[in-house]
Amino acid sequence: MSVLIQASGLRLARGPQRQLGLPDFALHEGERLCLLGPSGRGKTSLLHALLGFVPLQAGRLQVFGCERSVEADFVPLRGPLGLLFQDPVDQLFGPTVVDDVAFGPRNQGLDRQRAGQLALRTLASLQLEHLAERPVQQLSGGEQRLVALAGVLAMNPRVLLLDEPSNGLDQASCERLFTCLLETGLPMLIASHDQTLVQRLGTRILTLPA
């Protein structure tokens, strides 16, 4: 099994004075690793650090076989590491659902028309094509999450980073999200408190000590 992400001795900045130490871990091909731990223990910070949004104070981070430490190392990861934010509202740029899903592909260099077609195909693969022309602020919580996922999947990621993906969803929306996620067949790093999610999706658990 090849290693996709490997972290050892990571320390992240937490405000001006504090630092946060994280346990060593590795994510392998085909794995869905669940990060468990109390709030404020750094689950979100870790996911954000993998994309270079939270600077590393110490430690080694390897993603896709390369050492990552400075901003320039992280830029090519934005896309291949698909991050689903904790609050989908942060992630939806609109104005309509199809525009939003096309945002990533356009950043990858596709023109407006091709990005739009790709967005529609991605929405169809999640059975969301009926939402395509809807303004993003008119979506329900469950729909927002799935549209945010479509936005991530449209960039053809190699790994999904999911930050509390089932947060605030009812049972039916959760089931639908789990099905969509499992159908992607992608390796995942999942930060969650949700026991059902951990049981349904997780292949391994990493607990952050309190």
Q: How far is the CB of 4 from other proteins (least distance, A)?
A: 17
- CB-wise, 53 or 178, nearer to other proteins? 53
Binding positions for other proteins, rule: CB under 8 A: 48, 51, 53, 75, 78-79, 83, 85, 89-91, 93, 103-104, 106-108, 151-152, 155
Q: How far is the CB of 173 from other proteins (least distance, A)?
A: 21
Q: How far is the CB of 163 from other proteins (least distance, A)?
A: 11
Q: How far is the CB of 210 from other proteins (least distance, A)?
A: 23
Q: How far apart are CA 102 and CA 115, in angstroms?
A: 5
- CB-wise, 23 or 168, nearer to other proteins? 168
Residue with the two structure tokens 């937490």: 14
Q: Name the burial class of residue 118, with classes exposed (0-12), middle (13-18) and buried (19+) by CB atoms within 10 angstroms of its CB.
A: buried
Chain centroid, CA 188 distance in Å? 8
Q: Is 178 left (phi over 0), alpha (psi -120 to 50) or beta?
A: alpha
Q: How far apart are CA 204 and CA 202, in angstroms?
A: 5
- CB-wise, 20 or 36, nearer to other proteins? 20
- CB-wise, 20 or 51, nearer to other proteins? 51
Q: How far apart are CA 72 and CA 33, in angstroms?
A: 26
Chain centroid, CA 12 distance in Å? 19
Q: How far is the CB of 87 from other proteins (least distance, A)?
A: 8
- CB-wise, 36 or 160, nearer to other proteins? 160
